[in-house]
Amino acid sequence: MTRYKIVIQYDGTNFSGFQSQKNLSGIQDKIESSIFVLNNNKKVKIHGASRTDAGVHALGQVAHFDLDSKLTDKELRRAINARLDKEIRISHLSKIEESFHSRFDAKSKEYNYLCCLSDNPLYLKDHYHVKNIDIKLLMEVSKIIEGKHNFLSFSKFSNKQNNDCEIFASKWVFDDKNHEKLLYIIHGNRFLHHMVRYLVGSMIAVSQNKISIDDFRTLLNQPIKDAKIFKAPSNGLVLKEIFYEN
């Protein structure tokens, strides 16, 4: 039995998230169904590194699975892709050590969040349309997030004992050439449920003077459960990359 590591790209618009669902509408279900045919109609379970939610996209989701196959890595990747929905693609496939685990071996993750400053219909599907924002204030509040914090205020209600995350980078990038686009980049060792969407929604609210930067700082420094804050929609969120030791 050989263990394979795969990197997955997907448009999550029409799917119920990465994780397997009862109605088989998860990205995981689609990939397992494709491998099923290549394994003499026997199920092969894939293990994903991140459980992206419904509507969230990925450029660098990682997963692993075990399979006996005589195909080369290139042939196997092509065979899986040939049976997948057009919104899902395996961009990389390779053999990996048997001890590798896509989730537990991950050291950090980078998410991107895509915003558009106009109602250009070409961007509305996978961008969050925002207006009347103070970009300078938006960039200022993003720096507060960097470092190690308890992000309980910026997550869906959770019973997790550990809500600490270390954020290595948090920044907004304004496209000077295309004034319609705004990109948020966040890189951290771990993320709580809906954390990036709550952070983005709250930062946008600060930039629109709906809440103050001091209110944001208080939510971060004095974490509370079920905080009444702003959440950005799922369609702008992209799992950009997952980092490992090597």
Model confidence pLDDT, tens digit, residues 236-246:
999 999 999 87
CA 172 from chain centre, in angstroms, equals 17
Does the pLDDT value for residue 174 go beyond 90? no
Q: Where are the beta strands (DSSP E) in the chain?
A: 2-10, 47-48, 57-67, 88-96, 108-116, 128-129, 147-150, 164-174, 181-188, 237-243
Does the pLDDT value for residue 159 go beyond 90? no
pLDDT of residue 91: 98
CB 150 within 8 A of CB 223: yes
pLDDT of residue 176: 67
pTM of the predicted structure, to 2 decimals: 0.94
pLDDT of residue 158: 63
Q: How far apart are CA 62 and CA 243, in angstroms?
A: 10
pLDDT, one tens digit per residue, over 14-60 is: 999 999 988 878 999 999 999 999 999 999 999 999 999 999 999 99
Q: How far apart are CA 231 and CA 154, in angstroms?
A: 9
Best CA proximity match to 112, nearest among 245, 243, 246, 235: 235
pLDDT of residue 157: 67
Mean pLDDT over residues 226-235, rounded? 91
Give catalytic residue positions: 53
pLDDT, one tens digit per residue, over 98-150 is: 999 999 999 999 999 999 998 888 888 899 999 999 999 999 999 999 999 99
CB 38 within 8 A of CB 69: yes
Instruction: Return the percentage of the chain with pLDDT > 70, whole number.
Output: 98
Q: How far apart are CA 102 and CA 31, in angstroms?
A: 15
DSSP 182-196: EEEEEEES---TTHH
Does the pLDDT value for residue 203 go beyond 70? yes
DSSP 16: S
